[in-house]
A and B are shown apart, each in its own frame.
Chain A
């Protein structure tokens, strides 16, 4: 596709369940970023992948959060044992490489009941 895509667009889950969010970056983009946008707040950086290098996980809020990326393709963000405070829009972005413009997907709105 022409842009970054994310699925699902909306996810409602019960507290304590695990969720998986998917991001398909723009083809050829080596850098991929995950951000979280809580209601009424700015975006928080979560994790960054660049090619086959070890990811920068410095933004992950707890060990319940993890992400994987296979090569330079799809990435999944996993949240284990979800809590109500995890409710947010999770945004994925990709760029040709680090330092270039980031293109954002439409986000996944996660609601934890």
Chain B
């Protein structure tokens, strides 16, 4: 079975500070891993994805995530937070084969303090 745990339903950072959003996964087979962002009143948008190539994945808007198999983690980072980064972030996992429906974490709401 696949599942995702996001530690911290709310994270606040100051503008310019490091953003770290945590995600740990559980999967019985090698997974695909994703981070999606949901801005207020908008649909989900893919930030980045891991599909068994490079373990350090770079996404849009300066975000990146590192797949660490030994820690079963896929934490999302950004060196310097911007006000426009305020949104809800979802980590998701899917199988590398089959239907590839996504299993989502419960989300982390990021607040950026000016």
Contacts and interface: CB of A to CB of B under 8 A. Distances in A.
B and A form one assembly: yes
Interface of A: 4, 31, 33, 35, 40-45, 48, 50, 56, 59, 91, 93, 95, 98-107
Interface of B: 4, 6, 9, 32, 36, 42-46, 49, 90, 92, 96-107
Contact of A48 (B45, B99, B103): B99
Contact of A98 (B6, B46, B100, B106): B100
A42 B46 contact: no
A108 B17 CA distance: 35
A92 to B, nearest CB: 9
Contacts of B49: 101
Given A48-B101, A98-B99, A101-B49, A41 B106 contact: yes
Given A91-B44, A101-B46, A107-B43, A42 B106 contact: yes
28 contacts: A4-B43, A35-B102, A40-B9, A42-B4, A42-B6, A42-B106, A42-B107, A43-B44, A43-B90, A43-B104, A44-B104, A45-B101, A45-B103, A56-B99, A56-B101, A59-B101, A91-B44, A95-B100, A98-B98, A98-B99, A99-B96, A99-B97, A99-B100, A100-B100, A101-B49, A103-B46, A104-B36, A106-B43
